[in-house]
């Protein structure tokens, strides 16, 4: 269950969206305009905001700018009238996840788009956690001068797109070397994910790593 905020000055549309998302198991708060939505956002945490672009007072575009500046972790879906796609494109340029055109097709359409937005938010959160964990990983250190050749090889291959296989006895530091390789590569800003393949059965290995379809 996620905490969602729906902002629309049209009570009928707002209730329809809120009820559709509640049927999906989410905790939904409603706001009648942008100012009310901004107050709700300041009072409690939300994972997703669904907002109309045209509202009295603070409109959806202004609300989107405030959310991106103050709570960038909140995903945003914008609602736009039919024929106003340009405004929706501008909203996505400012950081909205996606847009829905009115009239809305069905509750299932709303729930599917919300699920996609929440999935992206969860993946970004996981990425940040993994990156922070990698930053706290032990540095690559050694005492034997023979290790200098290993380090030189790692630094040489790190900038390339080559796949690297590290072999060695248990406890010899393969994962530490792999983390150093990642840290020195052009992918350092992305997550380092360690997977214990031995814990996966032969039948499940491919589907666990790459998906079952």
User: pLDDT per residue over 118-151, tens digit each?
Assistant: 998 888 777 666 655 555 556 666 677 888 888 8
Q: Which residues of 132-170 are buried (b: 16+ CB within 10 A; e: fewer)?
A: eebeebeebeeeeeeeeebeeebeeebeeeeeeeeeeee
Give the β-pairing of 75-81 and 48-52.
Answer: parallel
Residue 199 has what pLDDT? Answer: 83
Residue 141 has what pLDDT? Answer: 66
Whole-prediction pTM: 0.62
- Quote the tokens at residue 190: 């992305």
CA distance 7 to 17: 10
Nearest Cα to Cα of residue 83 among 64, 102, 97: 102
Under DSSP, the state recorded for 198 is G
Nearest Cα to Cα of residue 22 among 51, 47, 2: 2
CA distance 81 to 54: 9
Residue 7 has what pLDDT? Answer: 96
Do the beta carbons of residue 42 and residue 74 sit within 8 Å?
no
Which residues of the chain are modeled with pLDDT < 50? none
Residue 15 has what pLDDT? Answer: 95
| Angle CA 102–124–116, to nearest 5 | 30
- Quote the tokens at residue 128: 């940040």
CA distance 180 to 139: 7
Residue 102 has what pLDDT? Answer: 87
- Quote the tokens at residue 87: 């405004």
Taking the alpha carbons at both ends of the chain, their separation in whole angstroms is 26
Residue 106 has what pLDDT? Answer: 92
């Amino acid at each position: 269950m996620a905490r969602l905020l729906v902002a629309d000055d049209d009570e009928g549309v707002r209730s329809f969206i809120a009820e559709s998302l509640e049927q999906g198991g989410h905790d939904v708060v409603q706001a009648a305009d942008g100012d009310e939505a901004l107050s709700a956002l300041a009072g409690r945490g939300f994972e997703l905001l669904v907002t109309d672009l045209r509202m009295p007072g603070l409109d959806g575009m202004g609300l989107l700018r405030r959310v991106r500046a103050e709570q960038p972790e909140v995903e945003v879906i914008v609602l736009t009238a039919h024929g106003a796609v340009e405004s929706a494109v501008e909203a996505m340029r400012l950081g909205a996840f996606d847009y829905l055109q009115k009239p809305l097709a069905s509750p299932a359409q709303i729930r599917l788009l919300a699920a996609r937005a929440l999935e992206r938010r969860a993946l970004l959160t996981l990425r940040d956690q993994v990156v922070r964990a990698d930053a706290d990983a032990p540095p690559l250190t050694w005492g034997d001068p023979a290790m200098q050749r290993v380090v030189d090889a790692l630094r040489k291959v790190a900038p390339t797109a080559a796949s690297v296989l590290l072999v060695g006895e248990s406890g010899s530091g393969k994962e530490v070397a792999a983390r150093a390789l990642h840290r020195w590569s052009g992918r350092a800003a992305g997550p380092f994910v360690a997977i214990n393949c031995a814990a996966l059965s032969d039948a499940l290995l491919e589907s666990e790593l790459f998906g079952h379809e």
